[in-house]
Amino acid sequence: MTNRKDMSNTGTGPQRAVAGVIYAVALVLVLLPVYEWVANAMPFYSDPYDLATGLFNLPGRVFVLVGFVLMFYQFVLGIRIPALERVFTRATNLRRHQTLGKIGFLLILLHGLFMLAYDRALAGRFLFDPYRVIGIVALVLLIIAVMAAWHYRALKLPRKVWKPVHMLAYVVFPLGFLHARTLGTELATSWVVNVLFSTLFVLYCVLVVYRIYIAVAGGAGRRAGQPR
């Protein structure tokens, strides 16, 4: 359950209202692609004609639709955005960053495994056309980044090694978007999902530029404060 102290920094009425709006919008953005998936999946499940599609393709598609949105949320929560930290504490954002990252990773991993199984069942072999390879590369990079984040203490990775490896996740998102744009059924058939994912990608690019700006400005500030 959510701790009441985590709801906002001060617990004032307006801030609680803003927090409620954020939760509602976040939920809607997850449910929109799921709704579009249901619209595509229902005709099949009402009259199934292909076992591989029902067992692998359709579940794999909904996994990545939700996983992509959750990965975007994870990026947002991992960046220090002042407006967001006026509503939720930094500690709360970091906990949710970690939780959503784990859920998003598992969903995207399942997507990859299910789609590989679908290709194997349908074609009798694994398919490695360029856009599928992009998806596989993105998944491998994500696995490396997540394993480094989860096990850096056990592996005794120094920060100068762990941090760059963890940052591989920033490469995964645009690769995943390109993979989805070229092979994703819901992006091809639903303008809602197409607009949503394109908007999230544009916002992601803005956040990356913002994070780079913060890093550069912070580094310049630290250098300026050092004695000459």
Kindly state whether residue 49 falls inside one of the protein's structural domains. Answer: yes
Most confidently modeled of 26-30, 156-160, 214-218?
26-30
pLDDT of 162 above 80: no
Q: Residue 157 corresponds to which tokens in the numbers above?
A: 């990775």
Residue 112 has a pLDDT of 95
* Mean pLDDT confidence for 143-151: 82
Query: For residue 57, what is the DSSP state?
Result: I
Kindly state whether residue 148 falls inside one of the protein's structural domains. Answer: no
Quote the number of domains for the chain: 1
3-class SS at 122? Answer: helix
Residue 2 has a pLDDT of 47
Q: How crowded is the C-beta side of 69, counted as CA atoms within 13 Å?
A: 19
Kindly state whether residue 116 falls inside one of the protein's structural domains. Answer: yes
Kindly state whether residue 149 falls inside one of the protein's structural domains. Answer: no
Q: Is 121 or 158 the better-scoring residue by pLDDT?
A: 121
Residue 132 has a pLDDT of 92
Segments forming the whole domain that contains residue 119: 4-130+184-225
pLDDT of 66 above 90: yes
Kindly state whether residue 146 falls inside one of the protein's structural domains. Answer: no
pTM to 2 decimal places: 0.85
CA 134 from centroid of its chain's CA atoms: 16
Kindly state whether residue 154 falls inside one of the protein's structural domains. Answer: no
Q: What share of the chain is helix, strand, coil (3-state, %, to 5)?
A: 80, 0, 20
Residue 203 has a pLDDT of 96
Kindly state whether residue 189 falls inside one of the protein's structural domains. Answer: yes
pLDDT of 226 above 80: no
